[in-house]
Amino acid sequence: MGERHITVMLLAIIAFTAWLSTLERFHDFLPALLDGAITTGSIASIASFLACAFGVTAALARLYGPLPVRWCARGYIEVFRGTSLLVQLFWLFFVLPTFGIWLAPFTVAVLALGLNTGAYGAEIIRAAIEAVPRGQWEASSAVNMTRGQALHRIILPQAVVLMAPPWGNLFIELLKSTALVSLITIPDLAFRASEINTLTMKTTDIFVLVLLAYFAMSLAITILMRLVQSAASRGVAPGGAP
């Protein structure tokens, strides 16, 4: 589906939600759901930024770091990919205090989501860098570029084009995973919906809005990542060299 169709779909969802907000049956709980959606969006945005930072650091450490650093990077990737996000969330929230480390629920949420998604993202970044033709490295060496310069100017711009689609999928998965943070007392969209449903029993009305909210945010992420990929592609020639 093209960017234009996705944008039209997103605008249609926003317009439909705005129309629903004018109906009296939604007036009682729409503000609370909106507040929950803002919390969900904030958590997803910050966690996505952390995931990128963790992913890039772990990928570069695994590829180019000294042997002990590579082991640490590999350990981080395997542990956070091989264990449940829910367990990681509970571990940071309930177990760390037994060691004297207390973190606010919001901090736990963004840290757990960022670490978990970053572990998957590290492998995407590593694979994208390794997919760049070896000749690009040789060409950069021929003009006396350092490894850092080659990565910044030659390799990473090409790797971004390859990694943007899978990273978009990861960000959408991260968004959906934010529903777990309600289990550590954060009033996100899922928490607000469950709370309001218990009080009003307007299940259909509530979860129609929740579904539309998550879908709209997912479409927004898709559009953003398509724009990132398009911007990166403009700097890369068809043959692969920027």
pLDDT in tens, the chain (242 residues): 677 889 999 999 999 988 888 888 888 888 899 999 999 999 999 999 999 999 999 999 999 989 999 999 999 999 999 999 999 999 999 999 999 999 999 999 999 999 999 999 999 999 999 988 888 877 887 777 877 788 888 888 888 888 999 999 999 999 999 999 999 989 999 999 999 999 888 899 899 999 999 999 999 999 999 988 888 887 555 445 45
Q: Which amino acid does the sequence have at 188?
A: D
Q: What is the pLDDT of residues 106-152, one digit of tens each?
A: 999 999 999 999 999 999 999 999 988 888 877 887 777 877 788 88
Q: Which residues of 138-167 are buried (b: 16+ CB within 10 A; e: fewer)?
A: eebeeeebeeeebbeebbbbbbbbbbbebb
CA distance 87 to 116: 11
Contact 159, 128 (CB under 8 A): yes
Q: Which amino acid does the sequence have at 226?
A: R
The domains found in the chain, sorted by start residue, are 3-234 (1.10.3720.10)
Contact 192, 33 (CB under 8 A): yes
Q: What is the DSSP letter of 104?
A: -
Tokens standing for 226?
């398509």
What's the distance, CA 115 to chain centroid? 10
Q: What is the DSSP letter of 222?
A: H
CA distance 235 to 97: 48
Task: Name the pTM for this structure.
Answer: 0.89
User: Looking up tokens 């689609």, which residue turns up?
Assistant: 165
Contact 177, 85 (CB under 8 A): yes
Nearest to 76 by CA among 64, 65, 61: 61
Q: Going by C-beta distance under 8 Å and a sequence separation of 6 or more, which residues neighbour residue 236?
A: 157, 158, 161, 242
